[in-house]
Structure 1
Amino acid sequence: MANTQETNRIPLPMPPLRTVPLDGRGPEDVVVDAVGRVLTGVEDGRVLRLDAFPKGPQGAADTVAGAPRTEVIARTGGRPLGLEPLPDGGVLVCDARRGLLRVDPSDGTVRTLADTVDGAPLRFCSNATAAADGTVYFSVSSRRYPLDDWLGDILEHSGTGQLVRLRPGGSPEVVLDGLQFANGVALAPDESFVTVAETGSRRLTRLWLTGPRAGRRDVLADGLPGYPDNMSRGSGGLFWVALAGPRSTSLERLHRGKPALRQAVGSVARHVRPRPGPLVGVLALDASGRVVHDLRRRSPDYRMVTSVHEHDGHLILGSLHERALAVCAFPPASRG
């Protein structure tokens, strides 16, 4: 049964953010490799690796002093979005224009793992996770709109997102279809299920992989207080979820309207580039879908958080909009 969240719950204030400037725009996803280095991709196709961040004083709200050393580990030739470090040192890269890639940081080699699904070009590959046996689950946000027109899909509510499975040595196969802007993907701690964020519906959808419910689809969490984007696993088996924006009642009214109206509004949106709002929000949920941490703050200097990763007592945030990462202390009052 879905765990429906109360949208009027009172969130805890997120600690002040410190920014980590980058030579590039739009670090959409942020992950940490096995030795604590931060990985992200920017809009010109580079995949960057940063040394560990200086901690700074608790609660500091400024730019990180002594910016970490940054190196380019690969150039995809497209637009890297979701990243996933692999046990052998490689990195999965979901490239919105090129498909599912594998990067070797030692020499910058980029290899295509999947660029078609069911005979159609793989466009808008968004986020991925890898199981212990090497199986990869990745999302396709939309089959109607490319990344540059993502807002059109959100407005049209096209329901053309997918969750795709790629077994070692196999071909991509769609395991969930009809998703509303499929986005972040994460496996349960015991790999009994995989969950995908449906940004357009403010919910986390679950596909059971083992046990008596294997192959069945249900909802892990519904009625989230914002639009879920990338996901990551944190301490205690929690799922961290970035909220790219707060709930919009006007958008919900549009989604209830006729398809022709939604399509018309979505088409107009292709020519609009609205400035994201100043609300930063992240959630952490347990494997039952219960919200354990709900952190939000108004931050006019850092907007549209699309990823969150817990590391070494801190939260590291990425954004499709900014030219920086952000970091804050994990608030002691919020610890579960």
Structure 2
Amino acid sequence: MGYFIRGFAIACLLVIIVGLALYARSPIDAVAFEAPIENGLTGEFASNERLAEVATYLRAYGTGPEDIVQGPNGEFYTGYQDGRIVRFNVSEGRVLSGSLEEFINTGGRPLGMAFDHAGNLVVADAFEGLLSVSPAGEVTKLVAYSDDPTLRFIDDVDIAGDGTIWFSDASGRFGLHDYIYDLVEASATGRLLSYTPSTGKTKVHLTGLYFANGVALGPDDKWVLVNETGASRITRLWLTGAVAGSHDVFIENLPGMPDNISFNGVDTFWVAMPALRSKEIDALAQFPFVRKLVGGLPASLLVPSSKLGFVMGLGIDGEVKFNLQSASGVYHTVTSVNEYDGYVWLGSLAMPSIAAFPKALVH
């Protein structure tokens, strides 16, 4: 009995020591939150293999082509983990051999991108800020982190018809390398902002967003959408009419965590879903102390790993039009979806390639 008591006491002491170490190391200040209703891959989100036949390109050229955009001259651009932004030509949904070339290296981590009306590539760079790159490759910092200490993680961007640049600041607490702590903490410090080129002024429009991510303007710029990755919902800010300045929920209770979003200019918002919701984090929604301890683990151990490819297409009223998935692993951790000339292009933070498929296949 004496050995048992001593052993039990030692085990309890070790647990206490480990707990104290995790608490002291944890960078998060977890708060209680209400987990979304989560019905899994059922109903309109039922599992399928409709993404299994995508074609992949630029294989093994670099890691993490996060977003893909088409320039005014028809060339395509994507940005990599090492700071490179490359361009290439496409014909009938295929990357033309020999057309790939490096455009610039931002020295940071290019994420969401969009072209303005003057042909400049506007880049949401996680490390460098909001950038504008001229057709000649000259880089101008529109919004620098050093000039605004409230900014921490510029993530995605879209540009209105009047030239206003809309962008998201995913977290006021964590950057790209340790973003997972923001999702565990659940303090909802993300924001939606705009930048006016003519004045050089930045304005905050929405605060309290749970990891503000993808940004897309709606038809006629009447409203702008911002993905809340941690809340598995898409929030809408009205820009015109009697409700201008108010916001509502475009769609919620998604089975996954939405990343980037894009509008095809007609009738569809494409939403990238890199991962399903974490059942473990949701189960601990009302236990912030336990999540505080979880935050003591290395970020690399907390990032979910999945081979699921998941893309949604939403109508302009928020209804689910397309549910495209594949568990085959051919293309997964999808972070961007963009439609050009009848083809849908996919980017990913994890894959060493980009992917594409004809939109006609999903009707």
Query: Scaled by the length of structure 1, what TM-score is found?
Result: 0.88
3-state SS of paired residue (1:261): helix
What residue is the counterpart of 1:61 in the other structure? none
3-state SS of paired residue (1:229): coil
More strand by share: 1
Distance 2:177 2:278 in 1: 21
Distance 2:264 2:98 in 1: 23
* Structure 2 residue runs without a partner (length 5+): 1-36
Q: CA deviation at 1:124?
A: 1.3
Distance 2:211 2:347 in 1: 19
Distance 1:209 1:275 in 2: 35
Q: 1:209 to 1:118 in 2, by over 3 A?
A: farther
3-state SS of paired residue (1:307): strand
Computed over aligned residues only, the root mean square deviation of the Cα atoms, in angstroms, reads 2.3
1:18 aligns with 2:48: no
Question: Which among 257, 260, 281 is matched to residue 227 of structure 1?
Answer: 257
Q: CA deviation at 1:236?
A: 2.6
1:37 aligns with 2:67: no
Q: Across the two proteins, how many residue pairs are aligned to each other?
A: 321
Q: CA deviation at 1:205?
A: 0.5
Question: Which among 63, 71, 90 is matched to residue 101 of structure 2?
Answer: 71
Q: CA deviation at 1:269?
A: 4.1
What residue is the counterpart of 2:193 in the other structure? 164
Q: 1:72 to 1:233 in 2, by over 3 A?
A: same
* Map 1:187-226 → 2, pairs under 5 A: 187-226=217-256
Q: CA deviation at 1:304?
A: 0.7
More helix by share: 2
Question: Which among 171, 180, 183 is matched to residue 154 of structure 1?
Answer: 183
Distance 2:235 2:304 in 1: 28
3-state SS of paired residue (1:155): helix
Distance 2:187 2:292 in 1: 8
Per-residue CA shift, 1:161-187, capped at 9, x if unaligned? 111111231421211111111100000
3-state SS of paired residue (1:13): coil
Q: Which amino acid aligns with 1:240?
A: W
Q: CA deviation at 1:316?
A: 0.9
Q: Which amino acid aligns with 2:254?
A: L
Q: 1:209 to 1:52 in 2, by over 3 A?
A: same
* C-alpha contact (below 8 Å) 1:152/1:266 kept by paired residues: yes
Per-residue CA shift, 1:59-116, capped at 9, x if unaligned? xxxxx7x64521121211111111011221111100101110001132x111000124
* Structure 1 residue runs without a partner (length 5+): 57-63
* C-alpha contact (below 8 Å) 2:219/2:266 kept by paired residues: no
3-state SS of paired residue (1:212): coil
Distance 1:277 1:70 in 2: 29
* C-alpha contact (below 8 Å) 1:188/1:237 kept by paired residues: no
What residue is the counterpart of 1:295 in the other structure? 324
Q: Which amino acid aligns with 1:18?
A: A
What residue is the counterpart of 1:261 in the other structure? 290
Q: 1:44 to 1:166 in 2, by over 3 A?
A: same
Question: Which among 261, 278, 301 is matched to residue 272 of structure 1?
Answer: 301
1:101 aligns with 2:137: no
Q: CA deviation at 1:53?
A: 5.0
Q: Which amino acid aligns with 1:227?
A: M
Query: Scaled by the length of structure 2, what TM-score is found?
Result: 0.82
3-state SS of paired residue (1:244): coil
Question: Which among 66, 85, 88 is matched to residue 50 of structure 1?
Answer: 88
